[in-house]
Structure 1
Amino acid sequence: MGSHVRARRAAVALGFAGLLMAVLGAVMIVMVPSIIKQQVLKNVRIDPNSISFNMWKEIPVPFYLSVYFFDIVNPSEILQGRKPQVRERGPYVYREFRHKSNITFNDNDTVSFLEYRSYQFQPHKSRGLESDYIVMPNILVLAAALMMENGPISLKLIMTLAFSTLGERAFMNRTVSEIMWGYEDPLLHLINKYFPSMFPFKGKFGLFAELNNSNSGLFTVFTGVQNFSRIHLVDKWNGVSKVNFWHSDQCNMINGTSGQMWAPFMTPESSLEFYSPDACRSMKLVYKEEGVFEGIPTFRFVAPNTLFANGTVYPPNEGFCPCMESGIQNVSTCRFNAPLFLSHPHFYNADPVLAEAVSGLHPNPEEHSLFLDIHPVTGIPMNCSVKLQLNLYIKSVKGIGQTGKIEPVVLPLLWFGESGAMEGETLQTFYTQLVLMPKVLHYAQYVLLALGCVLLLIPVIYQIRNQGPKDAESQPGLATQPDGLPSPYTPLLQDSLRGQPTSPKA
C-alpha cells in the first residue's frame, strides 16, 4: 500500500514538473525572439555600455593593405606609340592600424569622431621589399601635360623647357617606398611656387602619402540609442551632408554608413551602402549568398556590375561623368584634376577594350572581385576584402615633348586590397555572446516544451494502468457474488474452462 502511494505521488510530481516545463517552453517561444532582438539592439548601438562599443572604437580586427604594382616593361616603346606592356609585382603587404579619437556624443543622437590610420610594412607576408624599383608613369609630368592640353602653345613650350631643365621624363624608376609614401621632386616645388592651388601636396609626392598617420575626415553618425532606425548612418562628413565633387545631387549624396558596421537583422533584400572618402563617393554592395565564417552564419555582399558603369550603361552614374569606357570612374574632380580613374583590378567587370589595350592584364572574379561577409543578425563584418585599382589616362600632348607619341590609353598604376577577418579572443567573445547564447536559447525552448509534454504523460499513463484491475473485478458474472460468498456456478465455470463435461447434481 505504501509503495502504491509513493508511486502515485512521484507521478503527480513529474506531471507537475512537466507542466511547468511546457509552460516555460511555450513562454520562451513567444518571448525569446523579442529578448534576443532587444539584446542585439542594446549591444550594436554606439554606446559605451554596449558590447560592440570597444570594437567600434578601436577595431580589433587585424587589417592588411596588399599593394600590387604594374611595372612597365616597355616605356621607350610606349613613347613611340606602341601598346603598353606591364607585369604585376607584389603583393607588398602593410599592417593597417585604425583608431578613433575626438569621440564626441551630440544631443541629436549622433557621435562625431576622427579615425586615424597608420601602416607598417610586413616583409614576411610580402613578395618583395620596399627597396624594390618599379617603372611607373611620372604622374606629375603626364597629369600636368594633359591639364595643359588646351593651353597656349607658348606655355607648353615653357613647360617642356622646365621639364628638361629639371630632368623630368614621362616615366620614372622609383622604389616601392617612394611611390607609396612620397619622394622629393623639384617639379612639385616649382608647381607649388607658381601654381600653389594646383596640387595639395606641399612636401613629398606619394600615392599613399596622405593616408599614413592621417584621418579620413570628421564623420558624424547616428548612434541608434534614441532612434534605432538610423543606427550607424552618416549624418555628416566634414560638416556637410553632401559633397560637391560630382554633377548630380544623387551622386553627391552621402549615403549609408562609414563602412564599419551596418544595421542588424539583415535579409537577402538588404544592401550595404557606405561613404568612402578615398573614392569621394557613396558605394552600394548587393547580396550574393549565405555562408559560414568560423561557425558564424554570414551574408556575402559584392559589388554590382553597375558600380563603375558609365552613364550610357547605367544612367544614374551620369553624374560621375565625363565618362570613358564602362567600368572605370573618373575621379579627377576630387583628385586635383589629374586624369585618374578607379576600377576593379585588371579592369575586371569593365569594357573588355580596356584590358585589351594593355598587355599583361588577366581579369578574373576569384582574384579581383571584392566582398564583405556580414553577420546578418548584428550587421558586424566578419571577413572582408575590398579591392580597387588606380589608373592614369595618358596621351601625347602636342607642344610638350616629354609626352612623345603616346597613344591614348588608360594605364593601370597599381591595385590594392584591404582585407580583415575577425579572430582570436574577439571572435570567441562575439561567437559566445551573440551567436552561441541565442542559439542555446532557441533550442532550449523547444527542448523544454517537448520534455514537459513527455512528463505530463506520466501521471496519465499511471492512472490508466492502475484502473485496469479494478475494472476487471467489477465485471458481472465473475466468480463471486455481491456479498462475497462463492457462486454456485463456480464449479461449472471451472470445469468448462478445463474442457470437461459437466452435469448438475440433483
Structure 2
Amino acid sequence: MQNCVRRKKNVTSNYVVTCKVYVFSVTNAERWMNNLDEQLHFEEIGPIVYRETLDHHNVVFHPENSTISYNSRRQLHFMSELNESGILNKTIIIPNTAVLAMAAKLQNSNSLVKWGYRAILSSSGDKVFVNTTIFNYLWNQTSPIIKSARKIVPFMVPLENIGALSVMYSDYNDRVNVRHGVQHGDNQFFMINSYRNRPTVPGYIPENGDCFASIVNSSEGALYQQNLDENSVIIYWRRTLCRAVPLYFERKVQRGPILGYEYVLPDSSYDRLTNVSEDCYKGQNDFLENGMTDMSKCYNGFPIAATSPHYYARNFTMANKISGMQPNREKHYSYTIAEPTLGIPIDQRARTQSNLVIPSLTGFSNDIQKFSNMILPMFWIEYHQNELPLRIINLIRIFNIVKDIQSYLPFVFYALFILLLLIALHKAWKIDSKYIQIPSVMIQEKCLQNNNNSELIKQ
C-alpha cells in the first residue's frame, strides 16, 4: 500500500482570474461562396467575460518522495455585471465546424469512406455555414451530421455537443502530482511531476509511438519555482492549449509594494523545431506552418491548432484567403509577472486562439473543397490574473522584510539571549538576597526580645 498521509480534502484558490472570450463571425459568407469576394471576412465579437475558479481537492501528501497529489478542477462562471446585456443571445455566422472538421479528418481515407461521409452529409441537410447564437457556439453546439455519424460510426464522433467551452471544461478534473520539500530544490518547488498519472500531455502515449510531449517541471500558473532570476525559465502548462510553453525573462516591474519579474512567451514559441522527431506539435498530416501548434491530441483528433490571437507576429500562407485579423502586441502577447523569491504570480495574461486547420481536400463536394488549405479562426481567449488577496500581499511583505534583515538576525538573537540571561541572573540574585535577609531580621528581632526579657527579670 502506498505510504501517504491525507491532510486536506479541498484547497480553493483565492486568485481572481477572468476569462475573456472573443468569437469570430463571418460577414460575407454568401458573397465568398459565390466567388464575389476573394477573401472570407471575419469580425471579432466580444469579450464574453467569465470568472474562472480553480480548486484542488482530494489532496494527498506523499512523504516517501516529497510530492503532493490532488485533483485540479477549473470552472467558468458568467459575470453578468461585466458583459454587454444580451451578448450570449447575439447571432453569429460561423463555418460549420462539424462538417469541415470531419472532412479534414477523413481526407486520407479511401473513396468508400468519403462516399459514406457524403451520403451522411446529404441526408443531414447540413451546410458549410451555420447561423447560431454565441451561447450555443460556446456551450451547446451540435449539428444533424454529428447525430447521424454517432449512430453509424460512434468511435469517430465521441461527442455530440462540440460547444467550444463545453469541450474545454466539461471534463476539467485531472489528477496532478507535484514536487515539494527541500530535497527537490527551489527550482522544482511545486513543479508538475505527472498529469493524469503520466509525464506527458494527455493524448500523447509514447509507448504507442507518439512523441514524448513532456509536461514535467511545468506549472499550472498558480505558483512558480522559487528564487527566480533573469536566467530562469518558467514553463507554463495549460490543458486547453494542449502543451507546456516556456516563458523567458524580459524586465523587472513594480506592482504596488511588490517588485516582480516579467517573463514573456516568445513569438517563436509555436515554430517548427529543426529536429522533426522532437517536434510534438507539428501536426498529424502535413506539417503546420511556423506559429501554429497542434492541439488535435487533446480534442479527439480533430484538426485544431493554436496560434497567437489574430495571428500576431505571423503571416500564414493558409490565412491568405481570410481577412479581418488585427494583430496587436499589447492586446495579444502572453506574459506573467511573478514575485521572484516565492514564485507567486502577481499579474499574468495567457492569450491563445483556436483555429480549424483544413488541408487540401479531394473527393468531397465543391462547397467543402473551397475551404482547402485554409486556417479558420474560431475564437480566442485571454486568462487574466491581476489581483492578489490582501493576506498574500502581506505575506510577501513580511517575507521580504525578514529576508532583508536575515543577515543581522544571528546578532539580534545573540544580544537577545544575553539580555534574557542577565534578566534571569538578576531575578535569581534578588531571590537569594531575600532569603538571606529574612533570617537576619528574625535574629535581630529575637535578640531585642531577649534583651527586653532580661531587663524585666532584673527589675
* TM tier, smaller: 0.7 to 0.9
**Offset of 1:370 from its aligned partner?**
0.5
**Offset of 1:179 from its aligned partner?**
1.3
1:278 maps onto 2:240 in alignment: yes
Q: Distance in 1 between matches of 2:32 and 2:237?
A: 37
1:412 maps onto 2:374 in alignment: no
Q: Distance in 2 between matches of 1:355 and 1:155?
A: 29
1:399 maps onto 2:399 in alignment: no
CA deviations over 1:223-260 (Å, ceiling 9, x no partner): 22554353212211111123426877554453423332
**Offset of 1:79 from its aligned partner?**
3.2
**Offset of 1:127 from its aligned partner?**
4.2
Q: Distance in 2 between matches of 1:354 and 1:436?
A: 54
**Offset of 1:113 from its aligned partner?**
0.8
Superposition pairs of residues 235-250 of structure 1, within 5 angstroms: 235-243=193-201, 244=204
Q: Distance in 2 between matches of 1:78 and 1:252?
A: 42
| Runs (5+) with no aligned partner, structure 1 | 1-46, 449-506
Contact in 1 for aligned 2:98/2:143 (Cα 8 Å)? no
Contact in 2 for aligned 1:288/1:302 (Cα 8 Å)? yes
Q: Distance in 2 between matches of 1:120 and 1:101?
A: 19
Aligned twin of 1:35 = none
Match of 2:281 among 320, 341, 344: 320
Q: Distance in 1 between matches of 2:75 and 2:215?
A: 28
Q: Aligned AA for 1:306?
A: S
Aligned twin of 1:387 = 351
Contact in 1 for aligned 2:32/2:39 (Cα 8 Å)? yes
Aligned twin of 1:115 = 72
Label 1:403 to 1:253 Cα distance change in 2 as closer, same or farther (>3 A): same
Whose strand fraction is larger, Structure 1's or Structure 2's?
Answer: 2
Match of 2:120 among 136, 153, 162: 162
Q: Distance in 1 between matches of 2:34 and 2:301?
A: 26
**Offset of 1:315 from its aligned partner?**
6.1
Contact in 2 for aligned 1:391/1:413 (Cα 8 Å)? yes
1:63 maps onto 2:17 in alignment: yes
Aligned twin of 1:265 = 227
Label 1:386 to 1:198 Cα distance change in 2 as closer, same or farther (>3 A): same
Label 1:374 to 1:428 Cα distance change in 2 as closer, same or farther (>3 A): closer
Aligned twin of 1:302 = 264
**Offset of 1:94 from its aligned partner?**
0.5
Contact in 2 for aligned 1:392/1:413 (Cα 8 Å)? yes
Q: Figure out how many residues of one structure are paired with residues of the other and give that number.
A: 393
Task: Tell me the TM-score normalised to structure 2 length.
Answer: 0.77
Of stretches 131-140 and 275-284 in structure 1, the one that deviates more from structure 2 is: 275-284
Of stretches 145-154 and 423-432 in structure 1, the one that deviates more from structure 2 is: 423-432
**Offset of 1:184 from its aligned partner?**
4.1
Match of 1:421 among 386, 389, 401: 386
Aligned twin of 1:222 = 179
**Offset of 1:158 from its aligned partner?**
3.4
Contact in 1 for aligned 2:199/2:214 (Cα 8 Å)? no
Q: For residue 278 of structure 1, give the secondary structure of its aligned residue in structure 2.
A: helix
Contact in 2 for aligned 1:327/1:350 (Cα 8 Å)? yes
Q: Distance in 1 between matches of 2:80 and 2:41?
A: 27
Q: Distance in 2 between matches of 1:200 and 1:160?
A: 20
Q: For residue 319 of structure 1, give the secondary structure of its aligned residue in structure 2.
A: coil
Contact in 1 for aligned 2:224/2:344 (Cα 8 Å)? yes
Of stretches 171-180 and 75-84 in structure 1, the one that deviates more from structure 2 is: 75-84
Label 1:329 to 1:317 Cα distance change in 2 as closer, same or farther (>3 A): farther
Q: Distance in 2 between matches of 1:225 and 1:311?
A: 35
Of stretches 397-406 and 82-91 in structure 1, the one that deviates more from structure 2 is: 397-406
Q: Distance in 2 between matches of 1:196 and 1:398?
A: 22
1:145 maps onto 2:103 in alignment: yes
Match of 2:253 among 287, 291, 316: 291
**Structure with higher RCO (Cα < 8 A, 6+ apart):** 1
Q: Distance in 1 between matches of 2:267 and 2:182?
A: 36
Q: Distance in 2 between matches of 1:91 and 1:360?
A: 17
Q: Distance in 1 between matches of 2:104 and 2:76?
A: 32
Q: For residue 341 of structure 1, give the secondary structure of its aligned residue in structure 2.
A: strand
Q: Percent identity?
A: 21
Label 1:396 to 1:124 Cα distance change in 2 as closer, same or farther (>3 A): farther
Q: Aligned AA for 2:72?
A: E
Q: Aligned AA for 1:329?
A: T
- Rg: which structure is higher? 1
CA deviations over 1:182-229 (Å, ceiling 9, x no partner): 23433222222222222331x422111134464342111112255435
Label 1:319 to 1:211 Cα distance change in 2 as closer, same or farther (>3 A): closer
Contact in 2 for aligned 1:160/1:401 (Cα 8 Å)? no
CA deviations over 1:21-76 (Å, ceiling 9, x no partner): xxxxxxxxxxxxxxxxxxxxxxxxxx999xxx99x932111111100111111223
Superposition pairs of residues 78-117 of structure 1, within 5 angstroms: 78-80=32-34, 82-106=38-62, 107-117=64-74
Q: Distance in 2 between matches of 1:271 and 1:262?
A: 10
Of stretches 383-392 and 235-244 in structure 1, the one that deviates more from structure 2 is: 235-244
**Offset of 1:174 from its aligned partner?**
1.5
Q: For residue 197 of structure 2, give the secondary structure of its aligned residue in structure 1.
A: coil
1:187 maps onto 2:157 in alignment: no
CA root-mean-square deviation: 3.0
Q: For residue 387 of structure 1, give the secondary structure of its aligned residue in structure 2.
A: strand
| Runs (5+) with no aligned partner, structure 2 | 413-459
Label 1:98 to 1:371 Cα distance change in 2 as closer, same or farther (>3 A): same
Aligned twin of 2:132 = 174
